[in-house]
Structure 1
């Protein structure tokens, strides 16, 4: 059971995906045109492994 859940206002898909993959909440436009300020776990994986981008998925 999840007892410590807080909704910080309007729920947008892009902001939610950003929070899950970066660990930081940002109020992003929900159109996919803005990159998050912080690197995601996938970007960190690519940087540390040296693998090509198609291997992050």
Structure 2
């Protein structure tokens, strides 16, 4: 009985926290993508495509 009540309370709290929107990490990812593609476009102006692709792919 105690185990069930503990599990139920934990389940409700996890559900409450998991519905919270995580907008800041999402915005951070999109800003990072934009900066990365902007920098690669600048690199393509002076470095050949095959070299840029090799560096980008790692």
Normalising to structure 2: TM-score of the pair?
A: 0.28
The structure whose RCO (Cα within 8 Å, separation 6+) is larger is 1
Structure index of larger Rg: 2
TM-score (norm: length of structure 1): 0.28
Query: In proportion to residue count, which structure has more helix?
Result: 2
